[in-house]
Structure 1
Amino acid sequence: MSGVPLTRDLVLVGGGHAHALVLKAWGMDPLPGARLTVINPGPTAPYTGMLPGHVAGHYGRDDLEIDLVRLCRHAGARFIEDRAVGIDRAARQVILEGRGPVGYDVASIDVGIHARMEIPGFAAHGIGAKPLDRYAARWRRFLEEVAAGEVAPEVAVIGGGVAGCELAMAMAFRLRQEGATPQVTVIERGARISGVGEKARRVMLAEMAALGVAVRTGARVTEVCADRVKLEGQEPVAAALCVGAAGAFPHNWIARTDLPQREGFIEVGPDLGVTGDRALFAVGDCAVMPHAPRPKAGVFAVRAAPVLKHNLRAALSGGARKTWRPQKDYLKLISLGDKSALAEKFGLTFSGPYMWRWKDRIDRAFMEKLSNLPKMQGPARPAEAAEGVWEMLASKPLCGGCGAKVGGGVLSGALSGIAAPEGPVVTGAGDDAAVLRQPDGTFQVISTDHLRAVVEDPATMARIASVHALGDAWAMGAKPQVALAQVILPQMSAALQARTLAEIMESIRAVLGAAGAQLVGGHTTMGAELTIGFTVTGTRDEMPLTVAGGRPGDALILTRPIGSGVILAADMEGQADGRDVSALLARMARTQAREAEVLGAVAHAMTDVTGFGLAGHLRAICVASGLGAVLWRDRVPVYAGARELSEAVVSSSLMPTNRADAGTLGGEDLLLYDPQTAGGLLAAVPALEAEGVLARLREAGCEGFEIGRLEEGPPEVTLK
């Protein structure tokens, strides 16, 4: 809720079904004063109910993946893409694999289970059916390998429970649909397949036989090899793909904590709270309820979500908690490979295509609930206001990052009265940084920049803002030297201030350290929203690069795609694909020190592409160098998802101003005016050296794209 101070941290560890439903409900009714954080290894989480249908080819990847990034945007939560590896209950911190710890006042764990097996060779040659995302990715790769003739369509499934048999039928069906002759075998240590009643078992065995799925019972696996599974006292099973589906195994990191456990599963009470800990909850397959044992099935997590949401709010606000009572029996809906399914409950069994249609409606309704999110409401329209207010309220919400910049035309007018450089100042306003001559004949550059947050996570925002600010030094071929940080925090309690600043400082030091620079101080204050900025200096022995040094015939090389502004604008409106947002943020948070080193050695002119878009920053080179430019539209790299969003008329709030300032390009491509945050370096290099520069960038593990040329003529950009 806008204007309410933040006082308590709620952290959801894992993107399981219960947490996904809590996020949806939280967005509809957030708790004022609570900051919500979600931690998950990836931007999406697969829905278990649709996995067999996806494996069989009935659903695409998008159909079964829950977009956690969109859900977090809807809930006003920050999303941290990382893996939990521990819990420090004394310090109330979640320990992460790839970054510093995240503090909590209340936390909930919903990380599911895995099916990795302690069998010789399984770690190297097998794949567990859970986590589902890893298995689904391996299955898609296996299909490609079979289609290419690289491997035989031979699959072994270890485990003859419902999950193993369901996946075996799905894989056999899909391989047949792909034109292969599959050899799929279910290996079960017990005397028969398990998890269902006798009538359902007969139906499943008949369906497996019809699909050519073999069943080996009373079989103990001794070793998994690259092309076979060895059994004790039986002939080995040929397998280019081995899937483990025998039982549910807890995550190893949980076993290493001091959490109360039963065989590695977190022990919880009737309120879903961790036994003996009022600040922690656990739900889903990673938890166990000793007072009410239940199978590991997604239906329980789904039905626990409303009680979990209530009790999380109660733990944060001091309210009374509710008791969750899981049902004694539940409906099993089992896919049978083709668009047919089996239903079992209370000993009754039904099967056929009509059961599939019922299951499909249930599954699609669940996914629709998590994808059909209400649009964010803009500010209330005042009853009376000055002229122009209503028009501005009706326009796009103000973007974060460079999308919040003042337009280039307005800015240049404001800077027109700045005095010409004198004394040690070689160049002033108008370039990426001011240039100062030092007494020893070397040069120093100095620049300042700050960004309104584009993401809720302060640590990620700090990395992006650091990379963005360093771009001004890199663009001039200078080596970053020192930085002063300016941090505006939203109003929050002292405890949250300390946690937030610790995360921010860790990210800043990591980025600056990797760039060879040092943080020497700064300033903090509280305000309306998170804003992070820097004053940066850099050094160079010779005159730094400017936008004025371009020469006719120079090749134009860009180091990053464009389109960040439109993706971030769509994310703000809840329209972006979470995978595209995640990939974009990861790219924006990476430094460009290596790119700057390669380009700075040969470039005649260089800048970084930021708020004024590719067209605006290229035009700056043209104007300063007295040259024209040809831009090859088809060679300009674009971030995944940006083109589709732009064609759907999604844009950053600054784009129209950029378009007006840049002038016509002899063609129309709105992405060329898209404001970039932590955008790529744009360098004009000698044409004869372009191929060598691109090769050196690749050798350094970087990207580079030749997107056009400078040429004689008026300072205009032509699109071809």
Structure 2
Amino acid sequence: MQPDYPKTRDILLIGGGHAHALVLRKWGMKPMAGVRLRVITPSPIAPYTGMLPGAIAGHYTIDEIMIDLVRLCRFAGAEVILDKAVGLDPVAKTVTLASERQVAFDIASIDIGITSDLPQTAGFTDHGVSAKPLGGYAAKWEAFLQTAPQAPNLVIIGGGVGGVELALAQAYRMQQTGRRPTITVVDRNAQPLGNMGLKARAGMVDAMRRYGVGLHLNASPARIGADAVELSDGTRLPSDFTLSVAGSRPQDWLQDTGLDLEDGFIKVGPTLESSARDIFAVGDCAHLSHAPRPKAGVFAVREAPYLYDNLRARASGAPLRRYQPQRDYLKLASLGDKRALAEKFGLRSGGEWLWWLKDNIDERFMAKFRDYPAMPTPKLPEPHAKGLAAAMGAKPLCGGCGSKLGAGALGRALARLPQTDAERTPGDDAAVLRGPDGAQVLSTDHLRGFVSDPWRMGQLAAIHALGDVWAMGATAQLALAQIILPRLSEALAERMLGEILDGAQSVFGPAGAPLAGGHTTTGAEMVVGFAVTGTCTAPVPKRGAQVGDRLILTKPLGSGIILAAEMQNIRLRTGLLGPVWAGCIDSMARPMAADATLLAPVARAMSDVTGFGLAGHLSEMLGDGLTATLEMDALPVLNGAEKLAAQGVRSTLAPSNRAALRPEWDGPLADLLVDPQTCGGLLAAVPPTQAEATLAQLQAAHVPARIIGAVVAI
């Protein structure tokens, strides 16, 4: 097994384009010692351009054309930062994100694609759809298909190859659903398909005739309304769905980077490096100044191995490779149905066999990102002690609450502690110090790194630590950090610690609990924890539920299963893991001060659902002679968690948690009841006369709370 070398250089990939996806895959096969690789992407998935017309036509599902960037980054050992880049300082070497966060780097590459929106055209923002970014267009198209009228009007702005391909795809899909669409392609030129040769152009125009797709030339959009497009020549085209595929426009924020640009695109030379040392650019957002080429995915794919080598070369001080693009390339255009047209060097061919060829090429590309080679498990040394194999387990140790000690072993160990002056109700997670003006609660918690982004880890660890304070109805007062960093160069250690603290302060600051200091040390991996205090008049106990009380839960279940799936890089049988994981992180990242404020005045018992799962924490809330009836249909569950549970995915702590599962709670959702939660919701026992009103208040405050059951006598 490769030694865990300290990280000394930060390489940042800005964007999840095709070139970066291929670099990440190659990096996973052959990582570079000493490099921390990071990826900034606004979406956990990225569409493959070549299959978009097929997806719009219905030949592929949307999931089939998406690269799961979360799984890819896990395979590559790369940190994933789910945010959008909106600025770059090449001197300070920092990237500004839409969240206003700053991310520093030593070496960076930009692969953010282009956009085809029309911000200068009146009404486009409200009523138009841009073909790029592709993911948003595909989603809006699928939504339109659900509500489209029987004879819809569609307008495609842009008569290039991409616009005509999508017009044909939309026409085919509409016909397959039994609709009779009127589709018009609008182009400002005197003829469409200007980048194609005469023969290929004639073939595409013939396909348009077959599908009844009209052409309106020598005009551009002047105004886009909810039901029509007004053109510069005075024509008004009715439109229920207006799509822009009009050329390629660079993203606006590049203008303020100080990099040399060509019509807004980043100028790069043969090494793919920009005018600023250590900053590379590839794909459609780049302009090859030494060999200008049209915007086409084939060049991004061909640039990938050169970018991979040059990022490594710059990190190690080696010479850079030079990229020379081919003069022409095979253009394969979809014709709506399962036929395609090919052109190269002015020669044209078409037919069903070309669709088969195109589909085969696309499928081979996407296969690279579906299943990844499994890393070999190190063999145990011989001889080894009895029980070592069982202690090691068959899968990686979970992070977050999934890595905690089981309730049985923990309880037996805690039983040895002597009594103290601090009040501690059995089962409560926070100690209580009484004073003349109320009480102070004290708690501490820490987590093994379960997300690779240090800022996000600091944020989630802060929310998790405050869970005990909120569960007792207290207002946060103060926090101290306990942080273990992996071995890093001094510069990277400072950078990582700063990111963790910034993420934590984004939670502690609004909660009114200043981060007053703490302790750091170096260890085998990142561990982030906090000691927190809070104040209240009378703490809400964990045990105290009474017969008839309604049980209110304020966050959905399933985070342990989803985090385990991401750590094991498991592929969903149906769907994509990336959006499931992103949704899980979003749920975990919601603080619960509002939840506690509304629940504490009425709750007879309350706990935050964390490592021992809903079953374990609910058992602690119930006194002798009590149990609970659970409304399984009402249980809130994170998207994808049930699918992963059905595939056999379990968190490390789940088997131990099953000891708390009462027979009356067993059933199809048992795996979710014993699933350890990180940053889980509050579970409160509320008198039945106040439950519905409290639930309404929570939901009005945008807390996704539900009543999930009631306390009953055994």
Alignment match, 1:139: 141
Query: What does 1:182-193 correspond to in 2, within 5 Å?
Result: 182-193=181-192
The answer to whether 1:21 aligns with 2:22 is yes
Would you say the 8 A contact 1:484–1:521 is kept in 2? yes
Equivalent residue, structure 2, for 1:632: 631
User: Is the Cα contact below 8 Å between 1:381 and 1:393 reproduced in 2?
Assistant: no
Query: How much is the aligned-residue C-alpha RMSD, in angstroms?
Result: 1.5
Residue 650 of structure 1 deviates from its aligned partner by: 1.0
Q: Aligned to 1:549, which of 544, 551, 572?
A: 544
The letter for the 1-side match of 2:556 is P
SS of the equivalent of 1:653 reads coil
- Cα distance in 2 for partners of 1:466, 1:603 equals 24
Question: What residue is the counterpart of 1:703 in the other structure?
Answer: 704
Cα separation, 2, equivalents of 1:704 and 1:625:
27
Instruction: Please give the alpha-carbon distance, in whole angstroms, between the structure 2 residues aligned to 1:227 and 1:245.
Output: 19
Match of 2:433 among 429, 433, 436: 436
Match of 1:716 in 2: none
Instruction: Give the residue type in structure 2 aligned to 1:426.
Output: E
2:410 alignment partner in structure 1: 411
* Shift in alpha-carbon separation, 1:128–1:75, aligned structure 2, 3 A: same
Matches within 5 A, 1:116-515: 116-117=117-118, 118-146=120-148, 153-193=152-192, 194-275=194-275, 277-422=276-421, 425-427=422-424, 430-438=427-435, 440-515=436-511
Counting only pairs closer than 5 Å after superposition, residues 650-689 of structure 1 correspond to structure 2 as 650-662=649-661, 664-665=663-664, 667-668=666-667, 669-689=670-690
**Matches of 2:515 and 2:393 in 1, distance apart?**
41
- SS of 2:38 mapped into structure 1: strand
| Aligned residue type for 1:561 | P
Matches of 1:393 and 1:547, distance apart in 2? 34
Give 1:661 deviation, angstroms. Answer: 4.5
Indicate if the aligned counterparts of 1:631 and 1:707 stay in contact, CA closer than 8 A. yes
Worse overlay, 503-512 or 449-458: 503-512
| Aligned equivalents of 2:393, 2:654: Cα separation in 1 | 16
Distance 1:394-1:451 versus aligned 2 partners, 3 A rule: closer
Return the TM-score normalized by structure 2.
0.96
Residues matched between the structures, number: 704
Query: 2:574 — aligned with what?
Result: none
Q: 2:694 matched to which residue of 1?
A: 693
> Can you give the 5+ residue segments of structure 2 that lack an aligned partner in the other structure?
572-576
- Residue type of the partner of 1:640? N
Give deviations 1:77-123, integer Å, cap 9, x for gaps: 11011111111111111111114211101000000011122323323
Q: Following the alignment from structure 1 to structure 2, what is the Cα–Cα distance between the partners of residues 449 and 666?
A: 29
Corresponding position of 1:718 = none
For 1:446 and 1:339, locate their aligned partners in 2 and report how far apart those are by CA, in whole Å: 66
How far 1:310 sits from its partner (Å)?
0.5
**Local SS of the residue matching 1:426:** coil
CA distance in structure 1 between the aligned counterparts of 2:521 and 2:397, rounded to whole angstroms: 22
Range 107-116 or range 199-208, more displaced: 199-208
Distance 1:135 1:711, change over 3 A: same
In the alignment, the residues of structure 1 paired with residue 432 and residue 252 of structure 2 have an alpha-carbon distance, to the nearest angstrom, of 54
Distance 2:443 2:152 in 1: 60
Query: Which amino acid is the alignment partner of residue 557 of structure 1?
Result: I
Distance in 2 separating the partners of 1:445 and 1:138? 49
Gapped runs of 5+ residues in structure 1?
Answer: 714-720
Contact 2:395 2:568 in 1 (8 A): no
Q: CA offset at residue 245 of structure 1?
A: 1.3
How far apart, CA to CA, are the structure 1 residues paired with 2:423 and 2:584?
36
Instruction: Give the whole-Å Cα distance in 2 for the aligned partners of 1:400 and 1:83.
Output: 26
Question: For each residue in 1:116-165, what CA deviation from the matched residue of structure 2 results, as whole angstroms up to 9, or x when unmatched?
Answer: 22323323322221111122222222222315x7xx62111111110110
Structure 1 residues 699 and 546 mapped into 2: Cα distance closer, same or farther (>3 Å)? same
Q: Which residue of 1 aligns with 2:515?
A: 519
C-alpha separation in 2, matches of 1:119 and 1:242: 13
Moved more, 564-573 or 1-10: 1-10
The answer as to whether partners of 2:555 and 2:681 remain within 8 angstroms in 1 is: yes
Cα offsets for 1:320-369 (capped at 9, x unmatched): 21111111111111111111111111222111222111111111111111
The 3 A distance-change label for structure 1 pair 517 and 179 is: same
Q: Work out the CA distance in 2 between the residues paired with 1:427 and 1:120.
A: 64
C-alpha separation in 1, matches of 2:447 and 2:554: 21
**1:663 CA displacement:** 5.1
Q: Secondary structure at the match of 2:148?
A: helix
Moved more, 386-395 or 80-89: 386-395
Q: Once the 2 structures are TM-superposed, how far is the Cα of residue 480 of structure 1 from its aligned partner? A: 1.0
1:415-457 deviation line (CA, Å, top 9, x unaligned): 11223343xx22256312111101x240111111000011110
Given that 1:469 and 1:534 are in contact with CA atoms closer than 8 Å, whether structure 2 keeps it comes out as yes
Q: Is the 8 A contact 1:584 1:639 kept in 2?
A: yes
Distance in 1 of aligned mates of 2:101 and 2:441:
32
Can you list the C-alpha shifts for 1:195-224, whole angstroms capped at 9, x where unaligned?
211111111111111111101122233222
**Within 1, Cα distance between the matches of 2:123 and 2:633?**
47
Does 682-691 or 5-14 show the bigger shift?
Answer: 682-691
1:512 partner SS = helix
> Cα distance, 1:625 vs. partner?
5.7
Moved more, 59-68 or 392-401: 392-401
Distance (whole Å) between structure 1 residues aligned to residue 662 and residue 175 of structure 2? 57
| Aligned equivalents of 1:109, 1:581: Cα separation in 2 | 24
Which residue number in structure 1 is paired with residue 605 of structure 2? 605
Look up the equivalent residue of 2:595 and give its one-letter code: E
Matches of 1:224 and 1:321 in 2, distance apart? 48
Contact 1:314 1:320 in 2 (8 A): yes
2:619–2:660 contact (8 Å) kept in structure 1: no
Cα 1:475–1:394 shift into 2, 3 Å: closer
Q: CA deviation at 1:192?
A: 0.9
SS at match of 2:541: coil
The residue identity in structure 1 corresponding to 2:428 is D
Moved more, 686-695 or 597-606: 686-695
Q: CA deviation at 1:379?
A: 3.5
CA distance in 2, matches of 1:626, 1:384: 50
Q: Secondary structure of 1:508's partner?
A: helix
The SS at the match of 1:142 is helix
User: Given residue 253 of structure 2, which amino acid in structure 1 is its aligned partner?
Assistant: W
Q: Which one-letter code corresponds to 2:431 in the other structure?
A: A
Q: Secondary structure at the match of 2:365?
A: helix
Paired AA for residue 582 in structure 2: S
| Aligned pair partner of 2:558 in 534, 559, 563 | 563
CA distance in 2, matches of 1:666, 1:136: 41
Partners of 1:384 and 1:664 in 2: CA distance: 42
* Larger displacement relative to structure 2 (472-481 or 188-197): 188-197
Match of 1:717 in 2: none
The residue that corresponds to 1:77 in the other structure is 78
Worse-superposed segment, 507-516 or 531-540: 507-516
Q: Take 1:344 and 1:670, find their aligned partners in 2: how far apart are those partners?
A: 54
Query: d(CA) in 2 for partners of 1:550 and 1:107?
Result: 55
Once the two structures are overlaid, the 10-residue window that deviates more, 445-454 or 665-674, is 665-674
> Hey, what's the Cα distance between the residues in 2 that align with 1:245 and 1:703?
39
